[in-house]
Structure 1
Amino acid sequence: MGKFVNSTEEFFAYCEENDVQFVDLRFTDIKGAWHHVTYRMSAVNVGIIEAGFPFDGSSVDAWQPINKSDMLLKADIGTAFLDPFTADPTIIVFCDVYDIYKNQAYERCPRSIAKAALKHADSLGIADAAYFGPENEFFVFDDVKFTDDIHEAGYRVDTEEGGWNSGTTYPDMYNTGHRPGTKGGYFPGAPTDSAVDLRAEMMLVLEQVGLEVVLGHHEVAQGQHEIGIVFSDIIGAADNVQKYKYVVKMIAHLNGKTATFMPKPLYGDNGNGMHVHQSLWKDGKNLFYKEGNYANVSEMGLNYVGGIFKHARAVAAFTNPTTNSYKRLLPGFEAPSVLTYSSQNRSASCRIPYGAGEKATRVEMRFPDSTACPYLAFAVMMMAGLDGIQSKVVPIGPMDEDLFELTLDEIREKGIPQMPHTLRGALEALIRDNDFLKPVFTDEFLNSYQAYRFERDVFPDEGRPTAYEFKTTYQC
């Protein structure tokens, strides 16, 4: 589906036609979290759209200090769409953040960084367009509880689909007995797939907000799902991830359920990934296509993969940016951590879809997850890929065997690099290896990002005892 408006004039006409009462300005922080501020329609005019909407940048995690807190939101009018969930007609607009102190796009604004990455590719003469197709998986639970205190910690999630509920007595209904079981949820029919109508509602609302929906299905794990949408350019694809997550969470919420994109909420079952299909284009030609090569992928396409693999440990700090991310990256759960490529083989970190023609040839990175800020994840992968193209890095592969069956010793013997095993490992790799990002990512941003992730995620996680540690250690 195309844009709803293409100019400021069309924006105001569209708002009048739809009796819009509120303008909701959305922007994204370095975690990928959406923030918003709502203006009355009567307070919005051409002047403020052109000048920018003021806000306090010191109240956003890892942004401005309080003595330099004034910032501007620059509305991208072409992204406007009606919020399907508000009681009063409200139009949502994506915004970029502007730094009034440096008179430039804010260097910690993820959306502005992604735009700069595309400009960099063009300035190198390599590509004038980059297309990304993320596949975001999610869980829908009926209930979630967690506690984190000085003397106790724990969590509990529940879904009627969970095999642990086979013996549950429900007070107001009978136990249906139809459950997918661990790793048994891929494409089952109803009633085992209990979310047919819920996903259908999500798909219809996603189309209302401008996404082109292809399919929806139950995923492998209990309570896990995926909805497939059409790819877009690097900015449009990241915008779509934000819309996708918003709609999925809201539809679940309005149906008395809760949705999460957390990579590994269930121990022993598959986790949520964000497989990302990617290709570079120039003058309307797919640079990753060469007929007759392995999977029809060009040398440039393989160099792009090689660049991502070369910098993968640092890339992971953005594509897999939480401690929970690395609980997903385990062999046997369709979450590959072995850095090689293959056609058809989903145990490789990069899959090149089999038999694709000129327009569809692409590379699919399978290790990212949806805790990533999409703008930063896409930009970092592209920057690594561009470095691979410039340096002509050749990745290890192809490897068409089941890599999940290889032992750690066999992986090492074959000389195949792996993803980092912890967020600490990824962040420490980023400290050592970040020159490939420097044309777009500033030192100030990189230093702030590393410090924030260490302080918010790594140190608190490493300092907390877990239930499993009590199980293994208490009686020692």
Structure 2
Amino acid sequence: MSVENVLKTIKDNAIEWVDFRFVDLSGRAHHISLPAKEVDEETFVNGVAFDGSSIPGFRGIEESDMVMMPDPDAAYVDPFTAHPTLNIMCNIYTPDGERYERDPRSIAAKAEEFLQASGVGTTAFFAPESEFFIFDDVRYESTMNSSSFYVDSEEAAWNTNRKEEGGNLGFKVGVKGGYVPVAPVDTQQDIRSEMCRLLEEVGLRVERHHHEVATAGQAEINFRFDTLKKTADNLLVYKYIVHNTARQYGKVATFMPKPLFGDNGSGMHVHQSIFNGDTPLFYEKGAYANLSEMALHYIGGILYHAPALLALTNPSTNSFKRLVPGYEAPVNLVFSKGNRSAAIRIPVAAVTPKGCRIEFRTPDSTANPYLAFSAMLMAGLDGIKRKINPVELGYGPMDKNIYELSDDQKAQIRSVPGTLDEALDALKADYEFLLEGDVFTKEFIDNFIELKRGEAKAVAIRIHPHEYGLYFDC
């Protein structure tokens, strides 16, 4: 959409407010709203000022002035506001007009530029499967003398004997029993359909929705793949619509990877491929899973750099509560066709040459998508550049259920880091591939590690309720 078309949209839709948005290092959106009558062509030239010192990991108070530069290609009419509002995603610049090196969206743009300059291909396509839970109640606290959380759902397995419903109607979802049941077991068909309606209303192409494996309202909606930066934009829109639609239904949605103990967590499986113009580069008919040599090297790059990648694709302490064996969690650094216990799965059902792709199953939605997608692309391109062969390195293919292997066989398979601190250690030791083409900078990586170390420490020093059960009677 051109600036002219954005201004026309404002006029045609009687827009009263224009909401300028940017994303922080953790992937959370922030916004400032201007009266629509104050927005003109100059706004897209001069941008909108904001205080960068108030955003964690951005700027010190002595250099706080920053500028949002609106991207007219990332605008849509907000479906929730009472006053007609147009939302526009922005890039971040310094006051002297330089692209801000810590702006995640600018990093995504640089990753796309690096791909084109590399000569490997022209476009990388991404498609995330971002799972989430819909709860009816959520409460938590962490104080000096108390620590607890509580979530509830009308369809949860623990509510088969709940009396507060005024007559329990049964049909609860069992633990690990939630994969695609019909109503009345699936109570959330309409809310997911409304989410999809709104997603299509703002321009996303929805492919399907369904209930996911876990009890208590786990869900998944898939939207159409797109280019790296555009898909990251779409994922922020997706989360915004999921969160606010749930709110309208008197419920709450969360993309937290592991909100429940003892059942499956929520991942963000990321499908990806590279094209040269209209030509897919990951397809070779008759090869293993119809994968080209380039695709194998791309896989090799991701699996080789995976411990470091996880600091960006799984950047929360809660991420590693999901990455444990036994819950369909992709903790094994191998690739396979159709095997969901591998970190990288190659979809083979009903796949065309243009649909040939890899699926990195380890990431989750605490990731900032601009950073995570960029890092995955850089790892894959490094694999192509260095011709990293995943077979020669023992990364597969593994077409067996890994969880059913013997202990000796499992010991031969590399696993993901066990904690956020371990992933950050891996990133500190292996980051050079991210610096190619100045996509990431050493300063950015150091700052990111410091920010996430603070989160890990904040969790580590706090007393866990389960410790009372283990140690209170010592």
TM-score range with shorter-chain normalisation? over 0.9
- What residue in structure 1 maps to residue 381 of structure 2? 386
* Corresponding residue to 2:469 among 449, 468, 471: 471
SS at 1:197 equivalent: helix
* Corresponding residue to 1:336 among 326, 330, 334: 330
Q: CA deviation at 1:408?
A: 5.3
1:211-259 CA-to-partner distances (Å, cap 9, x unmatched) read 1011111000011000111111101111111011000010101111000
- What residue in structure 1 maps to residue 32 of structure 2? 37
1:164-190 CA-to-partner distances (Å, cap 9, x unmatched) read 11111126x321111111000001110
Bigger CA drift: 194-203 or 398-407?
A: 398-407
- What residue in structure 1 maps to residue 169 of structure 2? 176
Q: CA deviation at 1:105?
A: 1.1
Bigger CA drift: 46-55 or 359-368?
A: 46-55
1:14 aligns with 2:29: no
2:397 corresponds to which letter in structure 1? P
- What residue in structure 2 maps to residue 67 of structure 1? 62
Question: 2:406, 2:301 → 1: CA distance?
Answer: 25
Question: 1:472, 1:268 → 2: CA distance?
Answer: 18
- What residue in structure 2 maps to residue 435 of structure 1? 432
Question: 2:409, 2:74 → 1: CA distance?
Answer: 49
- What residue in structure 2 maps to residue 3 of structure 1? none
Question: 1:137, 1:409 → 2: CA distance?
Answer: 33
1:183-217 CA-to-partner distances (Å, cap 9, x unmatched) read 00001110100101111111101111111011111
Q: CA deviation at 1:125?
A: 0.9
Q: Which ranges in structure 2 are unaligned for 5 or more consecutive residues? A: none
* Corresponding residue to 1:164 among 158, 171, 192: 158
1:281 aligns with 2:275: yes
2:399 corresponds to which letter in structure 1? D
Matches within 5 A, 1:316-331: 316-331=310-325
TM-score with structure 1 setting the length: 0.96
* Structure 1 segments (4+ residues) deviating >3 Å: 406-409
1:245-294 CA-to-partner distances (Å, cap 9, x unmatched) read 00001010111100000000010100000000000111321111111111
Question: 2:379, 2:467 → 1: CA distance?
Answer: 38
| Matched length | 466
* Corresponding residue to 1:116 among 89, 110, 114: 110
Question: 1:308, 1:16 → 2: CA distance?
Answer: 46
1:444 corresponds to which letter in structure 2? E
Q: CA RMSD in A?
A: 1.1
Question: 1:180, 1:111 → 2: CA distance?
Answer: 39
Question: 1:239, 1:409 → 2: CA distance?
Answer: 44
- What residue in structure 1 maps to residue 458 of structure 2? 460
* Corresponding residue to 2:304 among 286, 307, 310: 310
SS at 1:105 equivalent: coil
1:424 aligns with 2:421: yes
- What residue in structure 1 maps to residue 186 of structure 2? 193
Matches within 5 A, 1:207-218: 207-218=200-211
Q: CA deviation at 1:407?
A: 5.3
Question: 1:149, 1:74 → 2: CA distance?
Answer: 40
Q: Which ranges in structure 1 are unaligned for 5 or more consecutive residues? A: 1-5
Contact conserved, 1:289 with 1:297, CA < 8 A, in 2? yes
Question: 1:267, 1:428 → 2: CA distance?
Answer: 27
- What residue in structure 1 maps to residue 233 of structure 2? 239
Contact conserved, 1:307 with 1:386, CA < 8 A, in 2? yes
Question: 2:407, 2:374 → 1: CA distance?
Answer: 31
Question: 1:27, 1:339 → 2: CA distance?
Answer: 34
Q: CA deviation at 1:410?
A: 2.5
Matches within 5 A, 1:28-107: 28-101=23-96, 103-107=97-101
- What residue in structure 1 maps to residue 359 of structure 2? 364
2:94 corresponds to which letter in structure 1? D
Q: CA deviation at 1:405?
A: 2.2
Contact conserved, 1:296 with 1:357, CA < 8 A, in 2? no
Q: CA deviation at 1:409?
A: 4.1
